[in-house]
Amino acid sequence: MVRQHQPETEWTIELLTVQKDDSILELGCGAGYAIERLVDHTAAKQITGIDSSSAMLRSVQKRTQEAIRSKRVHVLYGDLNKLAFQSEQFDKVFTIHTLYFWENISGTLADLYHVLKPGGHFVITFCDGKNDVIWTGVRDLVQDELLPAARKHGFSDISFMEGPVSRQFRNVAVMGYKPFH
């Protein structure tokens, strides 16, 4: 899985525009490849990953054990549909290939707004097609639910971007910012 998702993971990390001292949350951290890349290639101060798979969390723990020991990385068992973090705790929140599993898009976006600091942003990366075929179900989900919910919950500068094609899959992302008060 790690090697399969490398192009979209690298692209998503670029979209985060990580700054020194950023606190970052990954929803559905899987085996921890993105967290490892953030540790090794950015000046992020704090990186937190949540996942609902104990096996995946064990993989992240092995992959980032030194960063966990130094308290730069935290990995938690959790449900990305019910975020239990303090208000305005993170500068950046991202997720790769989890949108398909969101039970309540509006509720999850409300949670993202709650946990992001003013000026922070989210990046939601997912596939919306393969080869020349657009998956209309995913596109409709984005147009009819994700984008309206992001606006409803107060995000600004919301954008939809096309990313790298990986294994014939079309990777795209939605990004939005929490305005300063």
pLDDT tens across 49-81, in order? Answer: 999 999 999 999 999 999 999 999 999 999 888
Residue 2: is its pLDDT beyond 70?
A: no
φ/ψ (deg, to 5) at 37: -65, -40
Which pLDDT belongs to residue 83? 87
Residue 41, number of CB atoms within 10 A of its CB: 11
Which pLDDT belongs to residue 138? 93
CA distance 48 to 144: 30
- Strands (DSSP E) found in 21-155: 23-27, 46-51, 73-77, 90-96, 116-130, 133-134
Residue 5's identity, in one-letter code, is H
Whole-number Cα distances in Å, 138 to 52, 88, 100, 116, 163: 23, 29, 8, 25, 16
Residue 18: is its pLDDT beyond 80?
A: yes
**Can you list the domains of the chain with their CATH numbers?**
6-177 (3.40.50.150)
Residue 6: is its pLDDT beyond 90?
A: no
Residue 36 near residue 64, CB atoms below 8 Å = yes
Strand partners for 174: 124, 160
Q: What is the pLDDT of residues 103-159, one digit of tens each?
A: 999 999 999 999 999 999 999 999 999 998 999 999 999 999 999 999 999 999 999
Which pLDDT belongs to residue 29? 94
Q: How confident is the model at residue 181 (pLDDT cuts 50, 70, 90)?
A: confident
Which pLDDT belongs to residue 118? 98
Q: How confident is the model at residue 27 (pLDDT cuts 50, 70, 90)?
A: very high
Residue 3: is its pLDDT beyond 90?
A: no
Which pLDDT belongs to residue 4? 64
| Average pLDDT value for residue range 9-25 | 96
Which pLDDT belongs to residue 167? 85
Q: Write down the mean pLDDT value for the chain.
A: 93
| Average pLDDT value for residue range 14-32 | 95
